[in-house]
Structures are given as C-alpha cells and as structure tokens.
Amino acid sequence: MINPKTEKMLNKQLNDELYSSYFYLAMSAYFENNAFEGFAKWMRTQSEEERVHAMKIYDYIHRVGGKVKLTAIKTPQTEWANPLAVFKDTYKHECDVTKSINTIVEMAVNLKDHATNNFMQWFISEQVEEEATAQRLLDQLKFIGNDKQGLFMLDREMGQRTVNN
C-alpha cells in the first residue's frame, strides 16, 4: 500500500503534469495565432509529451494501490510579447517542474519508499533533458533577437519535432 504522503505528492505531480500539458497547448495556440507553425507544432508536441508524463504517474498511483485525485487545472497564460518571452516562461516552468520532482524523490528517500524513488528516476532524467532543451532554444532566440530571417529558420526547424515518449 502506498504511503499517504507519497500518494498526496504524486497526485499533486499528476495534476501539475496535466497543467503543463495545458500550458504548452496555450503556447501552441499563441504561436498558431501568430503564424509560427513550426513553434506551434513543437509546443503541441510538448503538450502531448506532458500528458504522457501525467499518465505514467496516473498508472503508477493505481499500480501501488493508491487513489488518483484529479483537481481543477488553472487557466494558463495565453499571450506573450514574442517567441523569446514564451521560451523564458518555458525554461522557468521546466525548472519549477524539476524542483517538484526532486521534492518527491527526497520524500521517497526519507520514507524509504524505494519503489517510488525508482519510479521517479525516469522523471529525473527526463527533466535534465527538458531543461537543457528549453535553455538551448532560449539561447538561440536570444542570439536571433528580432532577426526575422533567423526566426523564420528556427520556426521551420522546430516544426520537424516528433514525439519522444
């Protein structure tokens, strides 16, 4: 049976991952509305990936005898000044997700919940990749600045992304 503290933290993370999916979908809509089809596709793919993460936690909670408790998902931001502002928010969001996941792992270690600690290691590795990708794109957008040709090229490149579950 799952420890009630673990169950509570995992349910919070499940709902946070669902919010992440919603957040990235809002970013996709922003880009679509502003004729950045590549950025829109990248963010939509990111949204789908976050939903997959949520479902991994959903399934784990059930597998260890816990109860899934879904909560309301707050409304995400829908407007940004430019692509750079979007990726500043993306990077910040991924850093916040990393902190949350690290908190779950610390709690699992303290509770000697080896199964949850083991389960969460995949998310630890995933967050290293998520932060690095967000930082790389943020750095590229800072370098490009307001260069329309650079934005056009990056938009085309980002449209090539596929789902990496």
CA distance 12 to 18: 10
CATH number for the segment(s) 4-158:
1.20.1260.10
Model confidence band, residue 163 (pLDDT cutoffs 50, 70, 90): low
Range of weakest confidence among 18-22, 51-55, 147-151 = 147-151
Model confidence band, residue 164 (pLDDT cutoffs 50, 70, 90): low
User: Tokens standing for 62?
Assistant: 């059930």
Which helix (H) or strand (E) segment holds residue 24: the answer is: helix 4-33
CA distance 101 to 103: 5
User: Tokens standing for 138?
Assistant: 């943020």
- pLDDT tens for each residue of 95-130: 999 999 999 999 999 999 999 999 999 999 999 999
User: pTM score, two decimals?
Assistant: 0.94
- pLDDT value at position 160? 87
Q: Across residues 30-43, what is the average pLDDT?
A: 97
